[in-house]
Amino acid sequence: MSRITLAHANTIITSALEKGAELGLKPLSVAVLDPGGHLLAFQRQDGASTLRPEIATAKAAGALALGVSSRTIGDMAADRPSFIGSLGAIAPKGVLPAAGGVIVVGADGFPIGAVGITGDTSDNDELCALAGIAAAGLKPQE
Amino acid sequence: MSRITLAHANTIITSALEKGAELGLKPLSVAVLDPGGHLLAFQRQDGASTLRPEIATAKAAGALALGVSSRTIGDMAADRPSFIGSLGAIAPKGVLPAAGGVIVVGADGFPIGAVGITGDTSDNDELCALAGIAAAGLKPQE
Amino acid sequence: MSRITLAHANTIITSALEKGAELGLKPLSVAVLDPGGHLLAFQRQDGASTLRPEIATAKAAGALALGVSSRTIGDMAADRPSFIGSLGAIAPKGVLPAAGGVIVVGADGFPIGAVGITGDTSDNDELCALAGIAAAGLKPQE
Amino acid sequence: MSRITLAHANTIITSALEKGAELGLKPLSVAVLDPGGHLLAFQRQDGASTLRPEIATAKAAGALALGVSSRTIGDMAADRPSFIGSLGAIAPKGVLPAAGGVIVVGADGFPIGAVGITGDTSDNDELCALAGIAAAGLKPQE
């Protein structure tokens, strides 16, 4: 598996939103990016606020930017807030230090894309991202 | 009520400034935005400093961006400073973590706009925003 | 009809892509925005290049920014290139002067969103946008 | 007269909008800036599109930025498009090469602010700006 297709991306989003509905979460926004950080597909549920597309994208793009999940970026920001804060100025899509952004890897372990979700708690956002990735038969970066 | 008109916006601003005068507050700046975060009307009182238009706008635009008042964003920033700080880079009009930015909702509970005020204490700024919204016969988001 | 729902947006995209397939067009990217210019849904077909999300978004966001289709903005740019060129610096999502960005209006004639498509010729992009809007039971701005 | 007050700014806007109504123009957006290019007051009429606040502001701010009306900047752009085009990247509020942005001068001939209007033809926009300035008892830069 060397590439996330649009079909994969749509499955990830649909499954993530189903997971959110199953858990009774707030309206979610889900972005799927290619390994270069460019949007493949996105959906924002009714009632979600206006910056959610940028937040979902920044969780995923930031993960690809640093090579770790946005949860790990959140941990890094707790230790080194100025370092993470300084990245906003040089990362066109942002780097968002909160769980919900997960890198998807191919069979060789290299990133083939990323998923970013926002809307509920960061933990729940991430849980839905992982559910979406699994539903598409893909694997998150460990 | 599905739309804030310019007439509403002018009433909100005039009434907010009257409230400020009644309370003897410092010079205020008041922005009223449509639900997409675009300016409908703005007034800056004599003596207010130069960034006040951007601050008032960022309070209101940030509230719409995240779907909560700028007071709540202030609370979020106290808990998670790096998360809120990271939004500045991806929100063209900013996200300002201090009271004074209030979402206005329509009959169906969806945002129809927002008001942002700056100039005095954040608490007083918010109080004037609420007074303006009430004077226009509109409702703030709970 | 005062609001484009996510269900509408997904129908618009699916139908626009079906139209593209029917016509044998190159890989398309389709963005659907709310009336404030914020993304509701997006899909990029396999093989489309990296800036397509931004181009599709800029066609739709530019249309909402100026209140006319991106085709009309293209005509304006032919007459007044410096005027249209100057807008890029003040429009966070850009203003793109080429057909394919179409405003969707509600029963009262006000914008309720916009569709932006890129990938094939501008004329074909627009044709797919119109097909998508019609399939969702919505109306383009005349 | 060394300063445009908020009262002046409100009179300029109200009078400019009255002129527009008298002439049957499309919905207008009117910005009044202080001599540093910072917003004093703004109103956007119902039905005006989303980028109008930025366009009105850029007409006025660009005029102050270069010390000439935005009509003159339009003439400059016709002669030297790359020069005017390059300013967008360094002018935070933009430089807009089309009539409708007019500098207001004090008794000593120095700028005390500027008015920017957008919504109808550039000529009509400028005509309303001049009407507003005159109604406030102020003088445009010759």
Q: Residues A47-83: pLDDT tens digits? A: 999 999 999 999 999 999 999 999 999 999 999 999 9
Tens place of pLDDT per residue across chain D (142 aa): 578 999 999 999 999 999 999 999 999 999 999 999 999 999 999 999 999 999 999 999 999 999 999 999 999 999 999 999 999 999 999 999 999 999 999 999 999 999 999 999 999 999 999 999 999 999 999 8
In D, which residues are within 8 Å of B92 by CB distance?
Answer: none
In C, which residues are within 8 Å of D54 by CB distance?
Answer: 90-91
Place of tokens 């979700």: A117
Q: Alpha-carbon torsion D60, D62, D63, D65, what sign?
A: positive
In single-letter form, the type of residue at position D52 comes to R
CA–CA gap between residue D62 and residue C135 (Å, rounded): 44
In single-letter form, the type of residue at position A3 comes to R
Q: How close C127 gets to chain A, by Cα (Å)?
A: 21
A66: left (phi over 0), alpha (psi -120 to 50) or beta: alpha
Q: Count other Cβ atoms within 10 Å, centred on residue C140.
A: 17
Q: Would you say C67 and C114 are in contact if contact means Cβ atoms under 8 Å apart? A: no
CA–CA gap between residue B2 and residue B87 (Å, rounded): 29
Indicate yes or no: CB of C42 within 8 angstroms of CB of A39.
Answer: yes
HEC-encoded secondary structure of chain A? CCCCCHHHHHHHHHHHHHHHHHCCCCCCEEEEECCCCCEEEEEECCCCCCCHHHHHHHHHHHHHHHCCCHHHHHHHHHHCHHHHHHHCCCCCCCCCCCCCEEEEECCCCCEEEEEEEECCCHHHHHHHHHHHHHHCCCEECC
In single-letter form, the type of residue at position D105 comes to V
Task: Give the closest residue to C53 by CA, choosing from D57, A93, D43.
Answer: A93
CA–CA gap between residue D28 and residue D44 (Å, rounded): 6
Place of tokens 């996330």: A4
B94: left (phi over 0), alpha (psi -120 to 50) or beta: left
Residue B42 at interface with chain D, using a CB cutoff of 8 Å = yes
Residue A80 at interface with chain B, using a CB cutoff of 8 Å = no
What is the mean predicted confidence (pLDDT) over C62-79? 97
Residue in chain C closest to B37 (alpha carbons) equals C36
Q: Would you say D128 and D94 are in contact if contact means Cβ atoms under 8 Å apart? A: no
In Å, how far from its chain's centre is CA C109? 18
In D, which residues are within 8 Å of C85 by CB distance?
Answer: 81, 85, 88
Residue B1 has pLDDT above 60, yes or no: no
Counting CB pairs under 8 A, whether chains D and A reach 3 or more, is no
Q: How close D137 gets to chain C, by Cα (Å)?
A: 31
Indicate yes or no: CB of B5 within 8 angstroms of CB of D44.
Answer: no
pLDDT tens, residue by residue, B40-76: 999 999 999 999 999 999 999 999 999 999 999 999 9
Q: What is the largest CA-CA distance in chain A?
A: 39
Indicate yes or no: CB of B3 within 8 angstroms of CB of C38.
Answer: no
Q: Would you say B32 and B115 are in contact if contact means Cβ atoms under 8 Å apart? A: yes
Q: How close C92 gets to chain B, by Cα (Å)?
A: 6
In C, which residues are within 8 Å of D95 by CB distance?
Answer: 86, 89
Report yes or no for ipTM above 0.90.
yes
Indicate yes or no: CB of C41 within 8 angstroms of CB of A42.
Answer: yes
Percent of chain B with pLDDT over 70: 99
Residue in chain C closest to D48 (alpha carbons) equals C67
Best to test chain C binding among B1, B5, B33, B38 (most C CBs inside 10 Å): B38
Residue D47 at interface with chain B, using a CB cutoff of 8 Å = no
Residue B45 at interface with chain D, using a CB cutoff of 8 Å = yes
What are the residue ranges of helices labelled H in B30-92? 52-66, 70-79, 81-87
Q: Count other Cβ atoms within 10 Å, centred on residue C46.
A: 13
Confidence of residue A3 (pLDDT cuts 50, 70, 90): confident
Q: Is D18 exposed, middle or buried (0-12, 13-18, 19+ CB in 10 A)?
A: middle
**Which residues make Cβ contacts (< 8 Å) with residue A79, sequence separation at least 6?**
none
Task: Give the closest residue to C15 by CA, choosing from C43, C38, C46.
Answer: C43
CA–CA gap between residue B129 and residue B19 (Å, rounded): 9
**Which two tokens mark B101?**
């930015």
**Which two tokens mark D137?**
């008892």
Subunits adjacent to chain B (3 or more Cβ pairs under 8 Å): A, C, D
Residue A9 at interface with chain B, using a CB cutoff of 8 Å = no
CA–CA gap between residue C100 and residue C103 (Å, rounded): 10
Residue in chain C closest to A4 (alpha carbons) equals C46
Q: Would you say A132 and A126 are in contact if contact means Cβ atoms under 8 Å apart? A: no
Q: How close B64 gets to chain C, by Cα (Å)?
A: 11
**What is the three-class DSSP state of B132?**
helix
Indicate yes or no: CB of B50 within 8 angstroms of CB of D36.
Answer: yes
**The dihedral formed by the CA atoms of C85, C88, C89 and C93, expressed in degrees to the nearest 10:** 180
Indicate yes or no: CB of C39 within 8 angstroms of CB of A38.
Answer: no
Beta partners for A103? A114
Q: How close D67 gets to chain B, by Cα (Å)?
A: 19
Q: Is B136 exposed, middle or buried (0-12, 13-18, 19+ CB in 10 A)?
A: buried
Percent of chain A with pLDDT over 70: 99
Predicted pLDDT of residue B75: 97
In B, which residues are within 8 Å of C37 by CB distance?
Answer: 36
Q: Sketch out chain B's domains with CATH numbers.
A: 6-140 (3.30.450.150)
Predicted pLDDT of residue D2: 76
CA dist list (Å): D89 to C52, C88, D36: 23, 9, 18
In single-letter form, the type of residue at position A83 comes to F
Q: How close C38 gets to chain B, by Cα (Å)?
A: 7
pLDDT tens, residue by residue, C93-126: 999 999 999 999 998 889 999 999 999 999 999 9
Listed by number, the residues of chain C in 90-109 with a beta carbon closer than 8 Å to a beta carbon of chain B are 92
**Which two tokens mark C95?**
């203003």
Looking at every residue in chain B, the average pLDDT score rounds to 96
Residue B142 has pLDDT above 90, yes or no: no
**Which two tokens mark A118?**
């926002």
Q: Would you say C36 and C65 are in contact if contact means Cβ atoms under 8 Å apart? A: no
Predicted pLDDT of residue A1: 52
Segment among A52-56, A87-91, B120-124, D118-122 with least mean pLDDT:
A87-91
Query: What angle do the packed helices B52-66 and B70-79 form, to 10 degrees?
Result: 80
Residue in chain C closest to B1 (alpha carbons) equals C2
Residue A80 at interface with chain C, using a CB cutoff of 8 Å = no
Residue A48 at interface with chain B, using a CB cutoff of 8 Å = yes
> Who among C2, C35, C110 is closest to B36 (CB)?
C35
